[in-house]
Amino acid sequence: MKATPKTDEVINVLEQAVTVINLMEHNIREIEKADIPTDEAKDVINVYQSNLDYCHSCKVTAKDVYDEYWEICLNVDSLPKCAKAMAVRFENVGIPVWVCDPHSDYIKQISNKIWRMEQQGVITKSQASDLMCLFDLLAKWVMVWVFRVQNILKEMGVEPLPILTDKSEETGDETKNKPTPLPEVLNTNEAKSILQKAINAGFCDANYQWGKTKALLAYFADRVSEYLELGKGEYDGKAKTSWKPFESLFGISGLSGAKRDYQKTGTLPDGYKDVDTLFE
């Protein structure tokens, strides 16, 4: 088959865009565990903006791809073969099926994780908005090309082949259904009882995704650590707080710093009374 530079260009840009949108969950984890989450979020935003600009720099049109395949076909009889070859090339990009479903559970999952970081004070509202907007725009750019390719195949008289993969959607479901392992010191009946109360009260979900502020998580961890006597040693006449098990379980670092921050204000975080009721 002859060279297809226009198709090659589109596929290269699509591969880059798909790689970036599939990395959003990884990027969220990197932001949450960074020493300065807002700086990490800024870097991620810059990467997504750069990739969106790269997508927009691609000036290839659907007509360009359509004409390219008409030119390489020797005759009408060879058209189905050329069309199927094109479909396979786009299928090999590994475009996730959720890009064509605005109501996808995977997109909702990403949105919830991004806005949860904002609610916890990990990133700013502006950064959360930028992350979600750029993720959405990249996914929509990919979606537009999915529809374009499917329309091209119809124009060529060939039933469109599937060019989407369920891989990312399945991965999201597996992650969602996989139980989060408890750190050893929290894998006791007493600890699990408190954690279940926290779930029932709406502080977090069954996978320990914290739904309140980071300051309140620090207060919760401090109370649980003291209640279960997890800390070793004393500071100012009080047992030290064991932060690591809670940072590991909830996937949020810097809890000791969050406690220092609210202590500086002289007030306890909003919702502390609700946390206190878990120990009554």
Q: Which tens digits make up the pLDDT trace of 102-114?
A: 788 888 889 999 9
SS3 210: strand
52-61, 121-130, 162-171: least confident range: 162-171
pLDDT digits (tens, 9 = 90+) for 150-201: 888 888 777 665 566 654 444 444 444 455 678 889 999 999 999 999 998 9
φ and ψ at residue 95, rounded to 5 degrees: -70, 120
Share of the chain above pLDDT 70, in %: 88
Per-residue pLDDT band at 90 (split at 50, 70, 90):
confident
Q: What's the confidence (pLDDT) of residue 253?
A: 79
Q: What's the confidence (pLDDT) of residue 172?
A: 45
Q: What's the confidence (pLDDT) of residue 205?
A: 86
Share of the chain above pLDDT 90, in %: 44
Q: What's the confidence (pLDDT) of residue 167?
A: 44
SS3 239: strand
Whether residue 8 has pLDDT greater than 80: yes
SS3 148: helix
Q: What's the confidence (pLDDT) of residue 179?
A: 58
E-only strand ranges, the chain: 95-96, 164-165, 234-235, 238-239
CA angle 101, 105, 107 (to 5 degrees): 70
